[in-house]
Structure 1
Amino acid sequence: MAIPLVVGIDGSEASLEAVDWAAEEAVRHGVPLHLVHAVVPDHEASDLIAAASERARKSAPTVRLSSEVLREDAASELVSKGRNAFALVLGSRGLGDLAGLLLGSVGLAVAARADCPFVVVRGGSEYRNARFGNVVVGVEDGEGNGTAVQFAFREAHVRRCRLVAVHAWNVPFGAPSEPPPPSEYAMEALRRSPTQVLDGALRGPTERYPNVSVSRQVIEGPIRQALLEAAAGADLLVVGARRRRGHVRLQLGLVNHAVLHHAPCPAAVVPQI
């Protein structure tokens, strides 16, 4: 049995927009859609699930749909469901005292603890309805790229759209104007120019998904700014997340937070395997 795409709902309009997006995403990938409402006992929960289920069927009539109401802490329950999920999806705003934040407290807690890709559905209808034909992925130097890049390629493949791979770099502050004496470190740096970092990250997935058209962007400047600017014309923005050494939580850095809080389109944070 295929693992499901799980959507957390709370009755907010943002969570129903997430249901719309997730229903179509589940159909693209041929996986079931599972709606989860985690609450303290609430007599309105069944009505909320019913409304969300009807919305999912309207967005994607062929989706395989299931649902459940959980009676425990929302973040913990969603993280638990994510241990056997294709992805976890939430809306960009939630109900409750923190509804004014760009991303609710539940969403941030889930993003930091998820074992599977975590998607926050952001942006207006033009972004949620895949009108741009682009998936953007951020590529950093070092570990943690592989899973996110593979995820982004798979998304571009099922959407039959272009993949835009962005790698941004900065010259270290105070770097000497004259090159340092030759050393193993310097030679390795020369072997790993920004272009080579990007090419290396894309080589394997490009072979696996030869039909995906890839656009490469190597930019000198902050990666956060580069990704948000590229996402202005994208249907989905994808970034990776490293795991904290010795911890189960993810190391959500400035780039991850910028994407989750400010991306103009749906954004996915993909844990490093």
Structure 2
Amino acid sequence: MTIPLVVGIDGSEASLEAVDWAADEAVLHGVPLHLLHAAARDHEASELIDAASERVRKGAPSVQLSSEVLHEDATAALVDEGRNAYALVLGSRGLGGLSGMLLGSVSLAVAARADCPVVVVRGAAEHRNTRFGNVVIGVEEGEGSGTAVQFAFREAHARHCRLVAVHAWSAPFGAISTPHVSSPYAPRTHRRPPARVLDDALREASEQYRAPVSRRVIEGPARQALLEAASEADLLVVGARRRQGHLGLQLGLINHAVLHHAPCPIAVVPRI
């Protein structure tokens, strides 16, 4: 049995946009789509499920569709559902979002705790409806990006588009900027030259998926580099490490920034 792509719905416009994105994604990968509405109390749950189901049937009639209503905390229900999901798809804002918030509390909490990839459908409709032909992956130093790189390659391969791999780095004050050459500062900044970090991270997945790759080694803040690349992307992918001794993931400042500001859908992929 193929595990489903799960989309959380709450009746907000953002969650309906997530339904549309998830339906297209389910078609792209040939997986079932499962609609989940979770709330402690909601007398309109059946109407929300019916409306979302009708939306899927009109936009993606070939998708194998199922649905579920759970009377419990939304974050807990989604995280639990994610233990057996291809990915979780969420809107960027919920019905309970405060004015001015850039990301709903449920979406942020699920992205920080789920065991599977979590896609937050961000960005203006004009951006999402434009095919840029790029999937962007942020690659960090260390081992936190491996699963995310596999996910990003798979997405680029399925979309028949380019993978844009971005690795941003910063030399310590006073060090010479030499991204291709080892220096005495390497133990404190990079164990390997930045270009090699990128090459090593991409090597295994590039042998499995035949997608064209564009490499970008950028000296500067990772947040800025990823947001600039995402301005012409169909999807931005970032990795998340497990927190030592704690449940959930280590999203970090960069992931928080792109989750709040990315102009396109963003996938947070936990390290396995």
TM-score bin, normalised by smaller chain: over 0.9
Aligned counterparts of 2:220 and 2:45: Cα–Cα separation in 1: 47
> Given that residues 172 and 185 in structure 2 are in contact (C-alpha distance below 8 angstroms), is that contact kept between their aligned partners in structure 1?
no
Identity %: 76
SS in 2 for 1:40: coil
Q: Could you say which residue in structure 2 is the equivalent of 1:199? A: 199
Question: TM-score of the superposition, structure 1-length normalised?
Answer: 0.93
Residues 26/188 of structure 1: CA separation in 2 closer, same or farther (3 Å cut): same
Aligned counterparts of 2:15 and 2:241: Cα–Cα separation in 1: 27
SS in 1 for 2:84: coil
Q: Could you say which residue in structure 2 is the equivalent of 1:39? A: 39
Q: Could you say which residue in structure 2 is the equivalent of 1:263? A: 262
Does 2:253 correspond to 1:216?
Answer: no
Q: Could you say which residue in structure 1 is the equivalent of 2:131? A: 131
Residues 20/99 of structure 1: CA separation in 2 closer, same or farther (3 Å cut): farther
Aligned counterparts of 1:202 and 1:176: Cα–Cα separation in 2: 26
Q: Could you say which residue in structure 2 is the equivalent of 1:20? A: 20
5+ residue gaps, structure 2, are none
Residues 221/188 of structure 1: CA separation in 2 closer, same or farther (3 Å cut): closer
What's the offset of the Cα at 1:108?
1.2
Q: Could you say which residue in structure 2 is the equivalent of 1:167? A: 167
- Deviations along 1:167-216, one digit per CA (max 9) or x if unpaired, are 01001135489xxxx9998589887111000000011111111x200000
> Given that residues 98 and 105 in structure 1 are in contact (C-alpha distance below 8 angstroms), is that contact kept between their aligned partners in structure 2?
no
SS in 2 for 1:83: helix
- Deviations along 1:211-245, one digit per CA (max 9) or x if unpaired, are 20000000000011000000000000000000101
SS in 2 for 1:123: coil
What's the offset of the Cα at 1:270?
0.3
1:245-256 to 2 correspondences below 5 Å: 245-256=244-255
What's the offset of the Cα at 1:43?
1.9
5+ residue gaps, structure 1, are none
Residues 190/147 of structure 1: CA separation in 2 closer, same or farther (3 Å cut): closer
Aligned counterparts of 2:173 and 2:184: Cα–Cα separation in 1: 21
Q: Could you say which residue in structure 2 is the equivalent of 1:241? A: 240
1:89-168 to 2 correspondences below 5 Å: 89-98=89-98, 100-129=100-129, 131-168=131-168
Q: Please tell me the residue identity of whatever aligns with 1:256.
A: N
Does 2:56 correspond to 1:56?
Answer: yes
SS in 2 for 1:238: strand
Q: Could you say which residue in structure 2 is the equivalent of 1:11? A: 11
**For structure 1, which segment, 67-76 or 38-47, has the greater mean C-alpha deviation from structure 2 after superposition?**
38-47
> Given that residues 172 and 189 in structure 2 are in contact (C-alpha distance below 8 angstroms), is that contact kept between their aligned partners in structure 1?
no
Q: How big is the alpha-carbon RMSD for the aligned residues of Structure 1 and Structure 2?
A: 2.1
Q: Please tell me the residue identity of whatever aligns with 2:258.
A: V
SS in 2 for 1:47: helix
Q: Could you say which residue in structure 2 is the equivalent of 1:66? A: 66
Residues 72/104 of structure 1: CA separation in 2 closer, same or farther (3 Å cut): same
Residues 129/145 of structure 1: CA separation in 2 closer, same or farther (3 Å cut): same
Aligned counterparts of 1:219 and 1:165: Cα–Cα separation in 2: 11
Q: Please tell me the residue identity of whatever aligns with 1:155.
A: E
SS in 1 for 2:232: coil
What's the offset of the Cα at 1:59?
2.0
Question: TM-score of the superposition, structure 2-length normalised?
Answer: 0.93
Q: Could you say which residue in structure 2 is the equivalent of 1:79? A: 79
What's the offset of the Cα at 1:49?
0.5
Aligned counterparts of 2:170 and 2:151: Cα–Cα separation in 1: 26
- Deviations along 1:127-172, one digit per CA (max 9) or x if unpaired, are 3235111000000010111000000000000000000000010011
What's the offset of the Cα at 1:125?
2.3
